[in-house]
Each structure stands twice: as structure tokens, then as C-alpha cells.
Structure 1
Amino acid sequence: MLSDFDEIFPNEDIPEPSPDDFDKQFIEDYIQTQKARIETRKLIQEILFFASCQVASASLAILLFQYAVQVVFTAWLCLFIAWIPSLSNLGEVNLQKTEEGWTLQIMNKPIITLIKFISSVGIVTVTIYSIADELDETAKQITAVYNEIQQYEQPKIDQFLPPYFWQVILAAVAIVLLANCIKTARDRNPF
């Protein structure tokens, strides 16, 4: 039984790793873990920067509309603030030395950059258009109230009369005349 084991695993001297190999391996592992941590931190910072720009843009739109700043100025300012994370990734240029030579990368993560750009445009557009719709609705209501006030400032008799007023007056006069005609006809009766 042991002879089979020796055939599978021959009894060779396995060299033990030297302390220098252990130190090199430890340093390489440490460097790799630190690089992974740095990349994770960069990703978290990018996500937080993107989210804060979107929240700032939406809240700035509401704040500027509260102070009645012009809609076009508010829209462009909010769009620019929302686009900052995407624009910063578009302008990212990396010049790195590799084994083959130097490489130039203009955009590290094009898909993520496009997703950020599209979502930021969507968030700002929805926010601004919802506020603009509310402003339009408010302007329509103000115009309606203003028109109603104008009607009461220059009154006409027809505006204060109930519906079918003239028809009711004519019917009442007709009934009174008919009643008078019947009464006078009875009073003339000689019998």
C-alpha cells in the first residue's frame, strides 16, 4: 500500500521556500490588496460624487424656482452641475508605461460614463420639467383669477342675474296678465 503512495508522490526533496521568497510574496500580496482597496475607495468616491451632484442639482432647481430665477438660467445651471461627474470622466486622460511601451487612455470606463451622463440628464430633465409644469399650472390659475377679477371690476347686469331670468320675468308677467284678464272677465258677467 505504501509502495503505491510512493509511486504517486515520489519521495523527492521539496525545496523549502527561503525567507526572501516569503518576503517577496508577502510584499506582492500586500501591494495587490492595497491596489484593490484604492480602487474600491475610488469607486465609492465616484459614486458619492455622482449622487451628491445629482442631489445638489435637483435641490438647486427647487431653490432657484422658489426665488423666481429665470427658468432657462436655472435649467442650464442645474444641467451643468448634474453633468460634472460625467464630464470629469470624459476628460480623464491616462498616460501609462507598460511592458510594450507607453499607452494613452482617454476614457477609462466609457460605459459607466455614458450611464452617468444619461441618468444625470434624466434626473435633471424630470426635475426641471416637473417644476416647469407646476409653474405653468400656477400661471394658468393666476390668469383665470385675474380674468375673474376683471369681470367683477367692470360689472354688467347680465353677470349678476340668475340663469333664465328674462324668461322667468316674461312668464310671470304673462301669468299676471292672464289672471287680470280672467278677473275682469268675471267682473263683467251680468248674471
Structure 2
Amino acid sequence: MINDNLDDYLDNDNSSPRINPETARYLAHHEQKLYQEIETRKRFEAGLLFLCCQIGSASLAWLLFSLQTTLIIIQVSAIALAMLPGLIDFSDSFSFELSSERWEVKHSRPMQSVGKLLIGGAVGWTSTKRISEAVFKTHQQIETTYKEIREAQTPKTTTANNQYDLIGWCVLGVVGLLIFSKMITSLFSEPSK
């Protein structure tokens, strides 16, 4: 608003008070310097947002893993957060113009936007990759342990038969010894008259 008034005042030749050309040049230089500082601040904030989203993506993945959230929710949220700066940059630099004669799509910084999207996707994917591997390894170990427990609980037919055979032979041996000892004692004992 103030800028428009200043531009009108500087450009208006019919205005009664005349501005010194040196003052006008100084004001234009100061205005340009302010615009450059604003652009620098925007770039710095965009870089800071990009860095925070990448770090936040990895932290969010581990936090959700600690909260025992499902794997797909962890992956989607981490990748979406990591790609957020690229999506913001893509939407800011994208323009669509429609007129009665033609329509036009413009993108002022395609490489920068695509680069941010790719880096965000890669960071989001790698931050969830270790979690995915840990979950799959744990799942495999649980299956292996479950199989071992199941095998230990089901009696094996050869082992069970061998145990029953051993018990049978022991009982038969004890009965045989009792009969043998009874026969020996009856042979050597005097017949009663």
C-alpha cells in the first residue's frame, strides 16, 4: 500500500513538490535492498522448513513406531511430512492462466521443486526402511519361535512309541524277575510235610 503511493509519488510529474533526484535514487535503492532482504529471508525460511521437515519425518517415524502404530501409517505420515516442503514449493511456483484465447501452465522453478520432492521422498523412505526391516525380522523370528513351540508341544510318534516300548519291557522284566525268584525260592525250599 505504501509502496504504491511512493511509486505514484515518484512517477507523478504533475505533483507540486518536486523530489530531489538524489533522494529518489536513494529511496529506490533502499526499496530494492528491502526487497532483496525479504527474498533472502524467504529462502532462509524455506530452507529451514525443508530441514525441519526432514528431521521431523525421521523423528515422527520412530515416535509412531514406539507408539506401536501400524507400519503403513508410519510410512505414509513420514513420507508425507518429508515431501511437504517440495509440495509447498511446487504449489508456490506453479501458475495457471486462462484467457478467452488460450490457457497456459507455467512453473517457474521446476528443478528445485522436483529436487525437493525427490529428496523428501528419499529421506522419508529411508527413515521408515529401518523400521520396516525391524518389523519384518521380528515377524520372522516370531514365526520361527511359534513353529518351534508347536513342534515341541506335539508328541512325536517314534519317541512316544519308544517310551511306551521301554516301559513295557521294564514291566515285563520286573514280572519275569518276580516269577523267576518265586521259582528259585520254591525249588530250594523244603517241601512241607
TM-score range for the pair, normalised by the shorter chain length: 0.5 to 0.7
Deviation, structure 1 residue 93: 5.8
Change beyond 3 A, Cα 1:42–1:82: same
Alignment of 1:29-108 (within 5 A): 29-92=29-92, 106-108=106-108
Which whole-Å deviations, capped at 9, do the CAs of 1:145-167 have from their partners, x for residues lacking one? 333333433465989xxxxxxxx
| 1:136 equivalenced with 2:129 (yes/no) | no
Over the residues paired in the alignment, what is the CA RMSD in angstroms?
Answer: 2.6
CA distance in 2 between counterparts of 1:132 and 1:30 reads 54
Unaligned stretches of 5+ residues in structure 1: 1-18, 96-103, 160-191
Corresponding position of 2:24: 24
Deviation, structure 1 residue 21: 1.9
> For residue 36 of structure 1, what is the amino acid of its counterpart?
Q
8 A Cα contact 1:57 1:79, kept in partner: yes
> For residue 116 of structure 2, what is the amino acid of its counterpart?
K
SS across alignment from 2:107: coil
Deviation, structure 1 residue 105: 7.7
Corresponding position of 2:8: none
Please give the TM-score of this superposition, normalised by the length of structure 1: 0.60
Change beyond 3 A, Cα 1:109–1:153: same
Corresponding position of 1:111: 111
> For residue 127 of structure 2, what is the amino acid of its counterpart?
T
> For residue 54 of structure 2, what is the amino acid of its counterpart?
Q
CA distance in 1 between counterparts of 2:43 and 2:83 reads 18
Question: Percent sequence identity over matched residues?
Answer: 24
Unaligned stretches of 5+ residues in structure 2: 1-18, 96-103, 160-193
SS across alignment from 1:61: helix
CA distance in 1 between counterparts of 2:46 and 2:107 reads 14
SS across alignment from 2:25: helix
Deviation, structure 1 residue 116: 0.4
8 A Cα contact 1:65 1:74, kept in partner: yes
CA distance in 1 between counterparts of 2:61 and 2:49 reads 18
> For residue 48 of structure 1, what is the amino acid of its counterpart?
L
SS across alignment from 1:68: coil
CA distance in 1 between counterparts of 2:136 and 2:34 reads 54
Change beyond 3 A, Cα 1:158–1:66: farther
CA distance in 1 between counterparts of 2:141 and 2:28 reads 70
Number of aligned residue pairs: give it.
Answer: 133
Alignment of 1:145-184 (within 5 A): 145-154=145-154, 156=156
CA distance in 1 between counterparts of 2:94 and 2:113 reads 15
SS across alignment from 2:108: coil
8 A Cα contact 2:93 2:109, kept in partner: no
Please give the TM-score of this superposition, normalised by the length of structure 2: 0.60
Which whole-Å deviations, capped at 9, do the CAs of 1:93-132 have from their partners, x for residues lacking one? 688xxxxxxxx88433221111100000000111112210
CA distance in 2 between counterparts of 1:37 and 1:27 reads 15
